[in-house]
Amino acid sequence: MKKLAKLFACLFLVLAAGCASLGLPTPTTYNERLAAAYGTVTEIRRDAIVLLTAKKISADDAQNVQNQADAVRAGLDVSSAAFRAGDQAGATSKLATTLQILQALQSYLVIKKGTS
């Protein structure tokens, strides 16, 4: 559990730094982090479509990204339901895990953006 907490803290710092570099307020509460994650899912979906249109990823890759975005969205919904049910620790843990997947998707798309 401590490893997960440390990982979440690191991931949060990375996301917070990204927000700060864009001049956006850093999400600090659970609800703010959840909302930012939902927004990131939307960005990932858009990026996949842009990369597909630019022929930087295949249709299969784009579909895979969309499927992963669906899974992330479902994970965010589960986390949100746990939070509403009063399980703040479980909700935070689920959110942290989901943020890891989001970061992996973002990294993949960043790499694909840089290829020709």
Are 20 and 26 in contact by the 8 Å Cβ rule? The answer is yes
pLDDT of residue 24: 64
Instruction: Using the predicted structure, report yes or no on whether residue 2 has a pLDDT greater than 70.
Output: no
Phi-psi group of 98: left, alpha or beta (phi > 0 → left; psi -120 to 50 → alpha; rest → beta):
alpha
Supply the pTM of this predicted model: 0.74
Would you kindly state where each structural domain of the chain is located, as residue ranges? 1-6+45-116
Each residue's pLDDT tens digit, 63-96: 999 999 999 999 999 999 999 999 999 999 999 9
Helix 59-84 / helix 30-53 crossing angle, nearest 10 deg = 170
pLDDT of residue 111: 94
Q: How far is CA 1 from the centre of its chain?
A: 21
pLDDT of residue 22: 52
State the chain's mean pLDDT as an integer: 84
Instruction: Using the predicted structure, report yes or no on whether residue 23 has a pLDDT greater than 70.
Output: no
